[in-house]
Structure 1
Amino acid sequence: MSQGLEPIAPREAAEMWLDRLQSTRADETIQSYEYRLKPFLEWCDAEGIDNLNDLTSRQVFQFDSKRRADGLKVTTLNNQIGTLKQFIQFCERIDAVPERLPTKVEVPTVNLSDRVNDELLPAERADRIREKLSRYQRASRQHAMFELLWHTGCRLGGLCSLDLQDCFFEESDLERLRHQDDIDQAALEAVEIPFVYFRHRSETPLKNKREGERPVALEQEVADCVQEYIDINRVERTDSTERQPLFTTEKGANARASKSSIRREVYILTQPCRWGGCPHDRDTMNCEALDHGKEARCPSSRSPHPLRTGAITHMRDRGWPPEVVAERVNATPDVIREHYDHPDPIRRMQSRREFLTEDSA
């Protein structure tokens, strides 16, 4: 055992770390950390490592090699080893692992090409889906949800958190913000509508909690679509806390549309065969991806996260600075550049032309 360290089992340390994160991370984030750390804890059990004081950089390297041999995608490996490094950094702070061990943990680098294929819904596809929804399912719940996801770049949890009172489409709606301590009343006098306000509440938490709260401006066309949904197709229901969810269910105990149901609807909306032919030469009469609960098995279907990635990339391709995009979607500029920025070189060149014109003036 290394001198000056206090013995602790890997699982006990993991529980301490995850418990410590409870005050600063959303439940879903903690669950993802727990999921990513699980293979390491199982490996420790198999290798007889019952005290982190004895953990060496060579053993971490051996674990890394094993996960590579398991055939993991580089993006998955990046997430798992990155989370492991954060965990070992915590362990160093509580005198559980040898000093400087975290600096010896190498997180695999993810190339841009490794991310793009599976993690982005291209703007062209999003526009086609929006066009079809506007034509065939105008102002439906699916239409309104897709428009907000694409236009705001919000997370799935943020979309689920929205209530009717979070929609500010008329000047009279601004009265709901009067006299609120966290609102600059002077700025409110000049604010423009329409916008939605993402709020952190205990029943519907945002990923970054209070720091994730923000108003997000909408184009009038998007606000009109959401308002039509509210006026025509929204099922009037309140949840167990007497809140009025923006996206409701027709029946069942939960009035608010769940994350799983919205995720499934996004999978369905991004299946090409829903709007035309199958690009994978599948028999659309017998394709398993058309069965309930199996929509994600379509190679072209996407979950809400790639939709968020595509939306953020589209903002950047239109010339939006990373700092502006970051505030809109509740992320840091560095995260925008590293994880979400998958530029099309031609579009990015075009977005830079305005700066070329300014320099020539």
Structure 2
Amino acid sequence: MSDDLEPIAPREAVDMWIDRLQSTRADETLKSYRYRLKPFLEWCEKEGIDNLNDLTSRDVFRFDSTRRADGLKVSTLNNQIGTLKQFIQFCERIDAVEQGLPVKVEVPPVELADRVNDELLPAERAEAIREKLHRYERASRRQAMFELLWHTGCRLGGLRALDLGDCFFDESDLERLRHQDDIDSEALEAVELPFVYFRHRETTPLKNKREGERPVAIDQEVADRIQDYIDVNRVERVDPDDRRPLFTTEKGDRPRVSKSSIRREIYIMTQPCQWGGCPHGRDTTNCEALKHGREARCPSSRSPHPIRTGSITHMRDEGWPPEVVAERVNATPEVIREHYDHPDPIRRMQSRREFLTEDSE
């Protein structure tokens, strides 16, 4: 052990690292980091490692071997060791571990097929749901939610964070932006409507906080359907921060719809039997997935994330460059390619053909 190191217990170092990340990471991300490091902390206690100064590359190798022996999926092991490596890099910076230790930590490689989530919502199914919602639940909260999720590719937290004042559908709405310090007033002169503006606020944080803030253009048809909901079925309520949520509740002390409620609504509207027969041969008179709180038990139901995945894939199939999609949905181009890009080979070929045709004109 080097004399330059400063003694620190594993749990204390993890707390210090998480605290350091508070200003740049969402709460859910920090929770996932703690969860991934929990097995390492338990292993350190079992092995009697109470000072990270004593941690060696051989120790990390033994921990890795232990986790492999537990039968973890490669993707799970990749996440845990990858997070551990980030943590050890922080420990190196604060003189808690030997210099050069992070370089010796090998993160298990993962094949693309093991990294991606195939439970995306295909574009054809999304359009079918849009059509049914417009026919049978026009101007409903569900319709407005689905329109925004599909067309913006936003996360559940971003959808919930929207206020009524974050919708910019006509010229009068732009006045709300003209006096904000972070807005270029000259740019507003040429801005095209409609769009929604995702904002990070203390009580409704975005995943990437301030870096997640962005205006996102939407089609006029989408804006019209959201406006129908606002005009007809939105319940006017003000939350404790004197904000007017876009998606409100009718009763209770929480004016803004909860994440669990949004998730449940998505499960319901992606159940095929809502619009026709059951493709799984179930009896819809007593199917458990039709009971309150059990909607996710339908094999065809989807949570908000597969809608985001399907939306991003659809944008790519339509020929949108990864960099453009990344800005729209608040992700990096690398993440788009690795986790969300599930190409239909024929459509992707056609989009490349159209891109080449346009480029040659």
Fold-level match, TM-score > 0.5? yes
Secondary structure of 2:215's aligned partner: strand
CA distance in 1, matches of 2:292, 2:8: 46
Match runs of 1:130-209 below 5 Å = 130-209=130-209
Number of the residue aligned with 1:342: 342
- How far off its partner does 1:238 sit? 0.7
2:73 alignment partner in structure 1: 73
Q: Deviations over 1:77-109 (max 9, x none)?
A: 332222221111111111112222222222233
Per the alignment, in what secondary structure is the counterpart of residue 215 of structure 1? strand
Equivalences for 1:43-82 in 2 at 5 Å?
Answer: 43-82=43-82
Three-state SS of the structure 1 residue aligned to 2:196 is strand
Task: Please report how far the alpha carbon of residue 243 of structure 1 lies from its aligned counterpart in structure 2 after TM superposition.
Answer: 0.7
Alignment of structure 1 residues 1-361 onto 2, 5 Å: 1-358=1-358
CA shift digits 1:164-196 (9 cap, x unpaired): 111011111111112222111111011111100
Give, in whole Å, the separation in 2 of the partners of 1:281 and 1:81: 42
Q: In the superposition, relative to structure 1, how do residues 358 and 31 fare at CA in structure 2: closer, same or farther (>3 Å)?
A: same
Task: Measure, in 1, the Cα distance between the counterparts of 2:299 and 2:70.
Answer: 22
Q: Deviations over 1:44-74 (max 9, x none)?
A: 2233222222223333233333333434333
Distance in 1 separating the partners of 2:65 and 2:284: 41
Cα pair distance change 1:76/1:127, threshold 3 Å:
farther
Aligned length: 361
Distance in 2 (CA, whole Å) between partners of 1:8 and 1:15 is 11
SS in 1 for 2:62: helix
Tell me, yes or no, if the aligned pair for 1:153 and 1:329 is still in contact at 8 Å: yes
Letter in 1 for 2:64: D
Distance in 1 of aligned mates of 2:80 and 2:38: 9
Give me the whole-angstrom Cα distance separating, in 2, the residues matched to 1:115 and 1:275: 33
8 Å contact from structure 2 (residues 157, 205) kept in 1: yes
Quick check: 1:199–1:210 contact (8 Å CA) kept in 2? yes
Per the alignment, in what secondary structure is the counterpart of residue 180 of structure 2?
A: coil
Tell me the CA shift for residue 347 of structure 1: 1.1
In structure 1, what residue type is equivalent to 2:140? Answer: S
Secondary structure of residue in 1 paired with 2:127: helix
Moved more, 248-257 or 75-84: 75-84
CA 112–280 in structure 1, closer or farther in 2 if over 3 Å, else same: farther
Q: Secondary structure at the match of 2:248?
A: coil
Secondary structure of residue in 1 paired with 2:197: strand
Pair 71,284 (structure 1): closer, same or farther in 2 beyond 3 Å: farther
Distance 1:49 1:296, change over 3 A: farther
Percentage of matched positions with identical amino acids = 83
- Preserved contact between residue 238 and residue 244 of structure 1 (Cα < 8 Å): yes
How big is the shift at 1:115?
4.1
| Counterpart-to-counterpart distance in 1, 2:125 and 2:329 | 21
Letter of the structure 2 residue corresponding to residue 103 of structure 1: V
SS of match in other structure, 2:331: coil
Deviations 1:116-155 (CA, angstroms, capped at 9, x unpaired): 4544222222222222211221121111111101100111
1:112/1:342 contact within 8 Å kept: no
Question: In 2, Cα distance between the equivalents of 1:284 and 1:63?
Answer: 49
Where does structure 2 lack aligned partners over 5 or more consecutive residues? none
* Structure 1: distance between partners of 2:31 and 2:359: 49
Q: Aligned equivalents of 2:153 and 2:125: distance in 1?
A: 15
Return the alpha-carbon distance in structure 2 between the equivalents of residues 74 and 131 of structure 1: 40
**Residues 267 and 76 (structure 1 numbering): CA distance in 2 closer, same or farther, change over 3 Å?**
farther
One-letter code aligned to 1:16: M
Question: Cα distance 1:293–1:42, how it changes in 2: closer, same or farther (>3 A)?
Answer: farther
Q: 1 CA distance for matches of 2:43 and 2:137?
A: 50
Deviation at 1:333, TM superposition (A): 1.6
Q: Is the 8 A contact 1:154 1:329 kept in 2?
A: yes
Deviations 1:194-226 (A, max 9, x none): 100111111111122222111110001110110
How does the TM-score come out when normalised to structure 2? 0.93
CA contact (8 A) 2:116 2:339 kept: no
> Unpaired segments of 5 or more residues in structure 1?
none
CA distance in structure 2 between the partners assigned to 1:11 and 1:333 by the alignment: 34
Could you say if the C-alpha distance between residues 351 and 287 of structure 1 is closer, same or farther in structure 2, counting changes exceeding 3 Å?
same
Distance 2:115 2:300 in 1: 15
